[in-house]
């Protein structure tokens, strides 16, 4: 099996309303988001895929997290933040936007986006339908990360 990893950095904030300490207050992180893709065979260019495929398929969507605040929709401050900052506030439906939850949301979106990208077939950077997103790892700090990998 061949694997590649593409990393995209974003600046994002979150509030963890269930946290017993400082993390319940608004704070931010420089997050690294790693996308790991695999394929049993290499494409005509001897690659799993061009790294640009990942940026083209998910880059614009991931940019919505850049300089945004992720919040639990049940947080009492959510409505006020949403009214003040609109699209820069990303609601997590009755869940705290922990790094684990963010990794799952990013994985789910990226898997669908890559599948749609491969189905288009009209790109300068093709993606073979056999290429599979295996996991997403989100770094919260330089020493802490969470990842999501579905069970098969």
**What pairs with residue 62 in β-bridges?**
none
121: confidence class by pLDDT, cuts 50, 70, 90? confident
How confident is the model at residue 73, as a pLDDT? 98
Digit-coded pLDDT (tens) for 54-76: 999 999 999 999 999 999 999 99
What is the sign of the dihedral through the CA atoms of 104, 139, 62 and 126? negative
- Which residues does 143 contact at the CB level (< 8 Å), separation at least 6? none
When comparing pLDDT for 100 and 152, which is higher?
A: 100
Cα 35 from Cα 4, distance rounded (Å): 8
Domains of the chain, first to last: 2-66+98-148 (3.30.479.10)
What is the model's pTM?
0.95
What would the mean pLDDT of 86-106 be, rounded to a whole number? Answer: 98
How confident is the model at residue 1, as a pLDDT? 96
146: confidence class by pLDDT, cuts 50, 70, 90? very high
Q: Please check whether residue 128 is in contact with residue 4, taking contact to mean a CB–CB distance below 8 angstroms.
A: no
- Which residues does 38 contact at the CB level (< 8 Å), separation at least 6? 1, 2, 3, 4, 48, 131, 132, 134
How confident is the model at residue 111, as a pLDDT? 98
């Amino acid at each position: 099996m061949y694997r590649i990893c593409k990393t995209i950095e974003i600046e994002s904030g979150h509030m963890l309303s269930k946290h017993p300490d400082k993390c319940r207050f608004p704070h931010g992180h420089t997050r690294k988001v790693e996308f790991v893709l695999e394929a049993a065979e290499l494409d005509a260019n001897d690659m799993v895929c061009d790294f640009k495929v990942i940026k083209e398929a998910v880059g614009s969507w991931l940019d919505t997290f850049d300089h945004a605040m992720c919040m639990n929709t049940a947080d009492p401050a959510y409505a006020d933040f949403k009214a003040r900052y609109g699209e820069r506030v990303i609601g997590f439906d009755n869940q705290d936007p922990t790094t684990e939850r963010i990794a799952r949301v990013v994985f789910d979106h990226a898997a669908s986006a890559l599948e749609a990208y491969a189905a288009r077939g009209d790109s300068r950077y093709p993606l073979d339908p056999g290429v599979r997103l295996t996991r997403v790892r989100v770094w919260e700090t330089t020493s802490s990360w969470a990842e999501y990998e579905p069970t098969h």
